[in-house]
Structures are given as C-alpha cells and as structure tokens.
Chain A
Amino acid sequence: MAKPMHPTPNLDQLESGPWPSFVTGLKRLAKDKDYVVDVLGHLEHSYQTRKGYWKGGTVGVRGYGGGVIPRFTEIKDASGNPVFKDAAEFHTIRIMPPPGMHYDTDTLRKFCDIWETHGSGLIAFHGQSGDIMFQGCTTENVQKAWDEINQMGFDMGGAGPAVRTSMSCVGAARCEQSCYDEAQAHQKVINTFLDDIHRPALPYKFKFKFSGCGNDCMNAIQRADMAVIGTWRDNMKTDDAMGKAWFAKHGMNELVNDVIGMCPTRALQIKDVKDVSKEAHISTVALNDAQCLEIDNKDCVRCMHCINVMTGAMGPGKDKGATILIGGKSHLKIGATMGTVVVPFMSLKKDEDYDQLTELAQTCIDFFAENALEHERTGEMIERIGLVNFLEGIGLDIDANMVNSPRMNPYVRTDGWDEEVAKINAKKAAA
C-alpha cells in the first residue's frame, strides 16, 4: 500500500469517457507506489497552473553518452525542497524497438517486471521517434533497469546530437505493397551506426526511416534525414481474375472516379482488349472479357493510389528497391523541409544490395559530420550549400528525377558547360 493520493480534480476528469485512460493506469500504479502518487500530484499541479515543471540534467549509464532523458522536478517549497519528493527524479530510458515493432508476450511481460521493480511502471509504446519509452525512474535505478533490459537483447536509443532511433514499417512481414526487406535494411543500417547513436558527437540529430512503398507508413519523407522509400522499376504486376472481381463489385463509376481520375500522371486508361498497346512498358488488368485498364508504366510515378484501391489486381513489379531522399525535418530553424530525391532507384534484392545502402548512409553521415554547422540538420545544410555541392561531396550523379523543374532564374555561372556536357556524354558512352 502506498501513501494517500493527492487530490487530482483535473486529472480525475480524464478518467471518464470511452477512450482508454492513462490517468486510470497511473492511479492503479499509485496504489502500490509512493513514486506514482507524487507523479500524479506533479502532473495535477501542471494542469492547475498550465505550466510544465521538469528540467533536464545529466544522467546516463556506463559506457554510453546518451539515451537517458533526465528529469528533475522544479516544484520546490520555500526552502528549496521538492514538494513531490518521491517524484523528484523522473527519467526516461529510450530503448530501440525491433523492426516493425513486433513483440512476443514473454518480452513484454519481462519489460513490465523490470519496470515495476526499478521504475514507475509506466511504459509508452512508442515515442514519435520510435523508442519504447520507459518513463519514470530515479537516478539510482537507471543503471539497474538498463542492465536488465540490455541483457534481454535490447539496446539504447539515441538522444542529443546523434544518430537517432529508427523505425521501419510492417512491410514484407505483412504487407503486399512492400518493395524491399525493410527490417533487414533497418537492422543493417542501425548496426552500422551504434557508436553514433550511443556517443553523441554529430553536429545535430540524424534520423533514418524505412517505408516499404510510397504510402510511406513511417512518415519518412517529412521526418527522416535519410528516408528509404520502396519502389520498383519494371512494369506493375497485375492479376486479371482479381481485376474482374473488383470491377464486378465496384463498377464503372468507381473505376472512373476513384481510380482513373485520381491517377496523378494520367497513366491509366480504359481500353477495349483489342486496342491495347503492344509496347513493352504497357501492362493491363482485365475488367471483363471486352475491356481492360491499361497502365503506361513509363508515366506511372509509383504513387500507390490505384494499387491501394484495387489491392491484388495491381501491385509493385519484380525489379524492386527504394528511392532515397535526404533532408526531411521539422520546423527548426528554417521551416519544415521534405526529404528530396538523391537516389531515384537503388536495387534492394540481394544481401549485397543492403551493404550498398549502409555505405551510402555512412557517406552521408560522414559528410554531415564534417560540413554541417553546429545544430544544423542535413536539410538545412543542403539548403545552405546547394544540392549539387552535397551530391558532389557524397559522390552521387545528378539526375533529372531530383527536381520538380530546372531552375527558373538565370543567376548561375555556366562557364563549365562544355566540360559538363562532355562528362555526361562520356558516361553515356561508357554505360
């Protein structure tokens, strides 16, 4: 039995209503733990005054320079003592989740036992960066909890100016849209950068995210310094029986309004079977015995829309891999930036292909470490130095897939034009 609860009139109001309540969960923990009684008191004080009261500090584990988020209370009485003394320290341990965030119950139960013993008993699945967040631990217990979690095979996530914890979509494990082995890519890349995760020494944070197709379930393009988004190069795969079944169920209006009309590049047309183009880059899905949907794979940008609507009837082709985009980030400091294409297609089929991915990641991180200003994200660095300088720095060829359009102003020196053209022609001839 723990000490009596503080009155929590505000938090109590978050126990009503149908959605699962974290307050109810905290109160259940508070039955056994003075710690959580004071955490509730602390949070209620924030609700009453509409202010936060945690400050940072330095807490870590042996051997690592990051991964623990220290929190010390700032609610003090007149003589400087914590008002909620049992919750004076409330640190979080960030732990990297397995690719795709799969677990067995044995693992989850062990997490619970460890955190019930050493921490508050509150675990968040997951933080926005992907970490399992073990929330609420005293300075003294951080090492103990960490030792037990690490012995289960789990490793610490990133914090500060470091490579951060990454996420990969469910992908190949349970999704027909998957264009590469997201888990393998995730695991290989992260294992390449463990030192940069655990010992923050970069100009600023660097995030990877892995999505198996353009649906980008991991929101890589807006959040990752390096986004790996699955795609394919050959023709879309199609299945006539499933096409006919879809059409029989949904009919012409839905086909026209929801599929053909929404293709961003007008790559889809309805054709009579006899009129279908015979060119190699055309594929078709039957709608009935007389008509089919014709896909011009040269026009298709692999946006995934038609495949999402007609799942099974159409799907990614066989020559699979990923598009790699660099520079996504949130607002600070220049405003939010999307990742932009630096590799239109990297084949990801054989094991060696994945080594190529980690090599590119390493080159990017090295360039970032050397060239970014302090507290500058990769996207900001590229904005400052220009994409061409970045590409030359990391040894990638330019490609017209990298732009929405060529430049619209004449403010550029072009006295190297002839050499550039000669280089491009030489490359073409060699290919």
Chain B
Amino acid sequence: METAKKRMLTGNKAMAEAIAQEMENDKNVFVLGEDIGKYGGIFGSTQGLMEKFGPERVLDTPISETAFIGAAIGAAAEGMRPIAELMFVDFFGVCMDQIYNHMAKIPYMSGGNVRLPMVLMTGVGGGYSDAAQHSQTLYATFAHMPGMKVVAPSTPYDLKGMMASAIRDDNPVVFMFHKSLQGLGWMDQLDYAVGHVPEESYTVPLDKANVMREGKDVTIVGIQMMTHYAMEAAERLAQDGIEAEVIDLRSLAPIDKDTIINSVKKTHRLVVVDEDYRSYGMTAEIAAIVSEEALYELESPIKRLAIPDVPIPYSHVLEDFVLPGPDKIVETVKQMMDEA
C-alpha cells in the first residue's frame, strides 16, 4: 500500500542534494565556480552548499575559467575531488584547452598513472531566446573527444543519482544539466523539472540509457529536453494507435549501444532527436551505430531531428523553427509509418 507521499524535488535541488551528501561523506570533495557561493549557482545547482560547508569548500571564483578549471585538474591530480561549474557550456571556448588537452588526456598520457577524479558541471540548452552564445548544448563537441565521461540526465532522480556517481568516479566526468530541467522559478514551469527524489544517497550508473516508455512500432532516442518532447509525442502518437518506445540516452559517453539496438530489434524503426547541431552529432552517431550493428533490422530509413546547421537565433520565431519539438517528432514518426 503506497500511502506515503512521494518526496518531490526540482532538478537543481536534486543535484545540490547529491553534492551535499558526497561532501559530507568525503572531505576531499569541494566545489568551485562563478556565483556558486551565496548565489547558489545561477541555475541553482549549488544552493545551500555555502551555508552548509562554508567558503573553504565552496569557492566563488573570478571570471577566470582557464585558471579555475585548470586548478581543478591540478587539485584532482593531488587526490582531491573537485566539482567545477562552467556556468553555461557555451563558455567552454575560453577554457577548452584545459578540458580536452589536459582533463581528458592526462589519465591516458600517464598510462593510467594519474587519475583525475573530477566533475565539470555545466548548464546547457536553449528555447528561451538567449541567443547564439547562451543556448547551445554542445553534447557532441564534448562526447566526440575521448577521455571524458559525458552525461546529461533528464530527470531529478537521475540528476541526483548520476551526480553522486560522477563525484565517486575516478575519471573526469562532464555533467551537463539542462537549464529548463532545473525547475527554476524564472523559466518555463515544466512538470518534468520536478520529480520523485529519495532523501537517502543513491547512485545511477553513468553508462546506461533508460527506456522511459515501451512500445513496439518505433524507437525514439532523445536526451534531456528531447526525451521529454519524445514522451509528449509518444502520448499523442498512442492516440493514433502508434506505440513508440522512448529511450532516454542519459550518457553520451560511454554510449549504451545495447539498449538502443535491442529496442530497434523490437520496433524496426528509429528516430533520433537532438537539441544539438545536426552534422557530426549525436543523431549521426546513433544512426551509424544502428547501421553498423542492426541495419537489417530496419524497416525504414533512420530519421534524424536536430538543429539544422545554424547558430541558435535570438528571435523566438527563428529559434522555434530550428529547435526540434513534439510536433516535429509526431510528424516525422507519422511520415515514417505512412512510408512503410
């Protein structure tokens, strides 16, 4: 009998809770980044930490990303477990050398002798007219480069569990949180930005996709907002008798090929939806995996929905045009079913 009311948290509170619990368990864990102290992180991912742990372990930094992300690498090499926040993923440009030439490569170049147990967490995503320099996800940019785990959870439950895993992992983990899924009071109020989160500490693996909805007719793979849009689309498709299976990818690297392939073997159709640029991106990667490993399972060509290869425009009419959404997913799936 389920009488107890489920404990509901926003995405950002779930993340902050995981960080707090790991900080309590391990004195080597500390957080640094811009506005992460008193402000609690622009997207709320460090709320309450300053009050709990003080400025020794929760460090507001100057706007010096190369220095503080590089410093996180140096501290991690000394056995600390830093969590650095890059406020918006778009700002990676000023510090990418530290990220991909050092954080991603030192463990390998040292023959596994140097470990970098650190988390680089960063806000991603658009849809609220923040224009070309503040709206990207850049999933593929990071996932393309070997040496980093790259995860992008879609629910409060996973945000907490995957953050705990990321902090405990001995590898550098890029932890992308979607701004719209943080449950911020000043953005769209989305139902899926709030969800059940147990109070006790738990982990969710960093290499497993999640089947969010089972179906037999078509597989839709998404991540973060696109997973939720796929779920919305699936509900609508069900009304027309089309049963879509929705996979939340969760981890871009390593990618869970088995879950995708097993699903395609069942549905024989695949649509991949991505809030990143189309070319050389996640949609292409998944299409390639399925072509290589399950081509003859397919009954129709794979469809990809992603941002056509343009920077993200400001005006909402333009942005709406380039971002995939439930309508486009429904339309694409229906077309696919009609063609069959």
- A and B associate in one complex: no
Chain A positions within 8 Å of B, measured between CB atoms, are none
